[in-house]
Structure 1
Amino acid sequence: HIKHTIPGAKDSKVIVSGGSYGGFLTTVLKMNHPEVFFGAIPYAPPLRSIGANYQNPRRYDWFNWVYWDLSAAAATKMRDAFTLLAKRFQNLGEVEDIAKDLNLCTVSKTAADLQLVMGVIATNAQLIPLLSYSSPDANPYGATPEKMVNISLSAKNPIDIVNATLTLRNPPNLVPCISWDSDDSSEASLQKAPFNYLLCKYFPLSSNEILDGNIYPPTSVQTESDPMTCETLYKIVPPTQAEVEAKWHISTADLIQAPRIIFAYAENDPTTGVGIHPFPPSPDRNASRWMITSQAAHGEESIASFSGDKPSVVHARRVQLETIKEWLGLY
């Protein structure tokens, strides 16, 4: 449509881009329609944790590394605080005190309830680095892993560290209590049931298990794409990682052979843990490549620029722009 309606665009080459799930779609579009899309920049595409048979713990492993890399002392205090909380969760006699200490909207009365609470905490925790944008429009509360580190280092009580995980993204003046048992999504325009159906059918991302050795206790944050959930609730058998790779031609071998794709990941983004691995270096500037932006959040280079952008993000945008110019033969 654009080529036929914009003067001078008829013979222009098309570069496609998108972030997160849009990064997955960007990759699929470029790989399956090379005659249409000359180049592509998928930002933070989660390409390696798809399918109920392929639970990939690397998202929370990466999250873990973010904090250990920033401050081993803070990460140790965070780990100890959540180890203590996990022990408290084993005693149902403490549920009233737990609800009070965590400012929960309702009391979690069963072991299953407490597992949901831990899932809410872990989800909020990984969103702090994932969404740590410099732009106040994208990160209105200014939550960053650096703030979490500073709070942890100065905390006198372990519960203060746990609460910071929740309040950095849910300020008490705006969120009077923490909801853990709601069926509503945190996004006003998103309903969980239809979204989970779509996950099961088309994109069963399985990346929310936390294993031993993490700052946070072993936790199953969500099970929307587990076989039992998909089959029981929606009568759907989700595709496997191998099936998705074969159907859309996104195996590692496929991607390495395809020209003109920049897979853009970020240091603070746990999604990097479930993305593709770096490619072998190539002297061919049209070869597809993998890049990572230091201290950046989830697809941060792809959002609108502003005066306070991180220098690393500004640099990454410049690298991507210059690469596109080379693709187009401007140099």
Structure 2
Amino acid sequence: MAMISGLSLHCECDPVTYPRTDTSKIRKSIKAHECRLCPRYLTILTSLISQFFMRLSTSTLILAVVGGTLAAPGPGSHILAARQSSAGDPGGAVQCPADTQWFDQPIDHASTNSSQTFKQRYQIDTSNFKEGGPILFYQSPEATDIACISELLFMNWAKELGGIVATLEHWYFGQSLPFGNNSYTLDNLKPFTLDNVMQDAVHFLDFVKKNVTGAAKSKTIVAGGSYGGFLAPVFRQNYPDTFFGAWGIAGPFRSLGTVDEVGAELHNWYNYVQSTYAHRSLEAFDRIRNGFAQVKQLIDTGNNATLTKELSLCHPPSNSSDDLATFASFLVSSYTTMSQFNGLPPAVFFNVSGNSLDVVVNDTLAAPTPLAGINQTLWHAHGLDAVNGCLNYTDAQNSGFGVQEIPFMWAQCNWFPLNLAIANDSIFNIGSPGLGMSSSPSATCETLFNLTQVNGADVLTRYNVTREDIGNSTHIIFSENEYDPTTSVAVPPDWLGDNVSTDIDKSVVLFVAGTGHGQDLARPNATDPSSLTAARNIEFNIFKAWLAGANETISGISTTITASATAIGSATSFSASATATSSATGTASSASL
């Protein structure tokens, strides 16, 4: 038994104290001395938390926002390294061009009996600001470090809009810890509520408006991806006077709740990954299916020698259900990662040239056997973390945690009850106990925090993001990406109604073809597909239309929407490329408040 900042967890502690930034060695807790969870809890956390640790949220390297992020279990330290320069979910020590600053934030906004404050980190760029211009605000998600505003698409848009770009570190993550190294005790976690998360952002924006000359009447548009893609619409729905608009990228609204609440949506995520490969190449899909079936057979027959050799394993999985679940997560994560983050640069992966999804498909087709194809994919996804020429599936799982698991688990128990599962008939199910069942965080909530997991319906109702609420919403963009399985549990167009509408203020679902998780929020680069450029133009023009409708006198903002549109209910589907583009480049300059 070991103690992690006051939480009693069954774990095995490594006697070596690794540097905090060495994410390939440890999963980051708040203590300098890290503790590695035992297989049972690792399996639970892998199936729940690591669905999100490669998210989004954005960068020119990705992505993956906010940004961040949804992802299947287990990307290694090389993925984290890429995300360290991402805006949405850096994952480790980040050197941002803009200065990181601090301001005093109340610990409990609802308390009238306490004046306690903590230091919360933020970044801000006012180099392009013109009086009355908008505040383009990125809410950093459950990342281990603050988002770098220099990597946000907002930096390009601010030049044309005359806007401010700002990002705020999510409290209880990174260095924005209200009680320092004691922030994760059960008593000190109690102020950590969604209401206080929202109030943090409101208070921060009030701070910005008071301290930047000419910003008192500026309109704020908030963006976030994955978990942040849930937060941004929630901010808009609950504080519309503060958040004039919202851009939610890859928010998993349909996967929040108990098994009964999520219902038929429970298996969407991994079924979507299957479909992505089948749509790309049916022959490759069949070989992947056959490969997983052969892995299952080798496990069932106890043929560990062949399994170890064929998949380049350092050691085979044991017969324990926990170990088999960890091994299965290692296999599945490789295929999810290579598809979901198809927009990452090839250098992030091992021996990849070009788009990662195409590489997996082509190598699968060229491999002499289905097992050889799986081996190739495992090396692409985890090879940069390999030691001694073999793949350690346990280390691959441990190295991938780019989020701080204790506070994110708290969020899942209290207001973000993510529930995803591999179906029993999935090609990825190798018979590991639990993987064909629900990944509900309920048991973990009881074990770690003595809490009953919140019902999804209660969260959606309380925070005004039910299907009906979203259908009646305004000034929200829900963007979703083709290769991202989060799309399968995100807001569908039919939630926004069936009646034809041309009202630009109505919320909209935007599907971005040919892109990975949250890639549209990253700053543009030369390798972006034309569909991504068109989507960004549409998103930018929607922003301009919102702002122009609110204040037609804002300097530099055109009132003309250059994207042609047809509408299905409130869900406006754009059929032509927008012609308004932004070419702002350069290094972010920070403003001291």
Is the shorter-chain TM-score for this pair beyond 0.5, marking a shared fold?
A: yes
Partners of 1:168 and 1:282 in 2: CA distance: 46
Per-residue CA deviation, residues 20-55 of structure 1 (Å, 9 max, x unaligned), is 111111111011111111111111111111123336
Per-residue CA deviations over 1:80-115 (Å, capped at 9, x if unaligned) read 111221222212x21233233222333312151223
Aligned-residue offset at 1:181: 3.2
Question: For residue 506 of structure 2, what is the aligned residue in structure 1?
Answer: 287
Q: Secondary structure at the match of 1:249?
A: coil
Task: Give the RMSD, CA atoms, in angstroms.
Answer: 2.5
Match of residue 129 from structure 2: none
CA offsets 1:170-226 (integer angstroms, 9 cap, x no match): 225855433333573414x54545543443333221113234144654664597643
Say whether residues 1:264 and 2:479 are aligned partners.
yes
Tell me which structure has the larger Cα radius of gyration: 2
Q: Which residue of 1 aligns with 2:245?
A: 39
Q: Retained in 1: the 8 A contact 2:480–2:510? A: yes
- Name the CA distance, whole Å, in 1 between partners of 2:385 and 2:478: 39
Query: In the TM superposition, what is the alpha-carbon distance from 1:59 to its structure 2 partner?
Result: 0.7
- Encode CA deviations 1:266-295: one digit per residue, 9 max, x unaligned: 000011111111133522111101111111
Aligned-partner SS, 2:393? coil
Q: Structure 1 CA distance, aligned partners of 2:307 and 2:386? A: 21
User: Bigger shift: 311-320 or 143-152?
Assistant: 143-152
Give unpaired runs (5+ residues) of structure 1.
none
Higher relative contact order (CA 8 A, sep 6+): 1
Please say if 1:209 is aligned against 2:422.
yes
Deviations 1:46-75 (A, max 9, x none): 111112333611111111111111111111
Does structure 2 retain, via aligned residues, the 8 Å contact 1:135–1:306?
no
The yes-or-no answer on 1:5 pairing with 2:211 is yes
Aligned partners of 2:373 and 2:273: how far apart in 1?
16
Residue 524 of structure 2 is matched in structure 1 by: 305
- Secondary structure of 1:181's counterpart equals helix
Inter-partner Cα distance in structure 1 for 2:413 and 2:361: 36
Confirm whether residue 50 of structure 1 aligns to residue 262 of structure 2. Answer: no
1:91-106 superposed matches below 5 A: 91=301, 93-106=302-315
> Which one of the candidate residues 122, 127, 140 is aligned to 2:337?
127
1:153: which partner in 2? Answer: 365
What is the number of residues matched between the two proteins? Answer: 329
The match for 2:546 is 327
In structure 1, distance between residues paired with 2:380 and 2:466: 38
1:184 matched to 2:401? The reply is no
Q: Mark the runs of 5 or more structure 2 residues left unpaired by the alignment.
A: 1-206, 549-557, 560-593
SS in 2 for 1:328: helix
Identity of aligned residues (%): 28
Q: Return the TM-score normalized by structure 2.
A: 0.52
Structure 2 residue aligned with 1:236: 451
TM-score by length of 1: 0.90
SS at match of 2:509: strand
Residue equivalent to 2:224: 18
SS of 1:38's equivalent in the other structure is strand
For residue 122 of structure 1, report the CA deviation from its aligned partner: 0.8
State the partner residue of 1:166. 378
Matching residue's letter, 1:105: C
Native 8 Å contact 1:134 1:310 kept in 2: no
